[in-house]
Amino acid sequence: MSVEKKETVLMVHNYYQIPGGEDTVVANEKKMLEDHGHKVVLYTRHNNELKNLSIFGKFLLMFRTIFNWRTYMDIRRIIREENIDIVHVHNTLPLISPAVYYAAISMKKPVIQTVHNFRLLCPAATFYRDGRICEDCLHIGLLQAMRYGCYRHSKIQTAICVLNLKIHSFLGIYKKIKYIALTEFNKNKICKGLGLSPYTVYVKPNFVNNVSAFHEKEKDIQYIFIGRLEEIKGIDFLLAAWRMLGKNAPKLLICGMGPLEEWCRQYISDYAMHTVKIMGQVSHDQVMVYMRESICLVFPTCVYEGFPVTIVEAFANGLPVICPDIGNAGNLITNGENGYKFISGDVDSLLECISHMKKDYMELGINAHKTYESKYTEIINYQILMDIYKTAYTC
């Protein structure tokens, strides 16, 4: 293949019923490739299809999740008809299945799998169980997930996930494809869990574009939380910490909805936390406005996260970040440079970071924007992706 040739890319994605960050990444990468002259063919399935399945159809789904012959035949046909150069997979669960890998390899086409979460290593995809970080599947074995019914709290559905991983691992397919990890932290987990050479796992973060120009300026002391109001996002931990700040607590905006929303409202009311405002679900544009008005994003997650795009959006807006020293959030922050990291689960450590941020937010905000410009723009992302494609194609 000539170096000058623009690869024709088959992008493969299984949409969940509830839209998520993976869907945005697929749309952004497709547009980026097309804007740079590539032809992109999109092969998708949507989990809304599950709503119309008969009882027999749901029974067959267990087997199709492991290997879907329709996917296998579709992918081979598309590769042949569209003269595909690279097959780039984002999500296969449950309708597409790993059959996409076998189809592409049978046509002698390189396969790149972007790893958005930890599903290949942990059926729950989060490395989180019973209120704590859990790596039992990584260190002991996948049967631990079956023991606890980690996928959707169902031992049957978890067993299917485990069987899926076991079968394809035994057949060796995971070692015949290449991977994109979103951070070095993810890469290390993938290499360890799948027994891969680090040379087969590339690191390419997600990117953020269409952000407003950054202007250095003093601001009113206002912090912001953005995310689902649920336990794993640490919203209850954050409110407990804010309560300890007493009457002099700075303003905190909470943007998002979720299962703990009513609990949050009641907690704020019970303890007369007048500086805390729940904004509910707001538009992305409005979130950007709130970011530019705030001095810091507080990201108190309890889990490793896949790739916190919210943190990169904060950087793009010159907003430093406070987060725990775990997982991918901790991997994105350089302590004292573009934010502060606290000891996970330690309220006093979080309060110390909040106190430091009041004094340092302007300097850290400038550095945060420099981090964005050096790592997370579309131009940089495109070049990284092209290097990955060319390496995968020539291997």
Report DSSP letters for 298-317, one per residue.
E---SS--S--HHHHHHHHT
Please state, rounded to an integer, the average pLDDT across all residues of the chain: 94
- Report the side by side order of strands in the sheet with 86-91: 39-46, 8-15, 86-91, 111-115, 178-181, 201-203
Report d(CA 245, CA 354) in Å as an integer.
Answer: 10
Average pLDDT over residues 364-385: 96
- Among the ranges given (4-18, 87-101, 319-333), the one the predictor scored with the smallest mean pLDDT: 4-18
How many CB atoms sit inside 10 A of residue 353's CB? 21
Residue 213 banded pLDDT, cuts 50, 70, 90: low
Domains and CATH numbers, the chain: 8-207+377-394 (3.40.50.2000), 222-375 (3.40.50.2000)
Average pLDDT over residues 220-249: 95
Q: Residue 64 is encoded by which pair of tokens?
A: 């199709």
- pLDDT tens-digit map of 376-391: 999 999 999 999 999 9
Residue at 263: amino acid letter = W
Report d(CA 84, CA 103) in Å as an integer.
Answer: 12
- pLDDT tens-digit map of 279-290: 999 998 999 999
- Give the per-residue pLDDT at 48: 85
SS3 content of the chain, % helix, strand, coil (to 5): 50, 15, 35
Report d(CA 209, CA 192) in Å as an integer.
Answer: 33
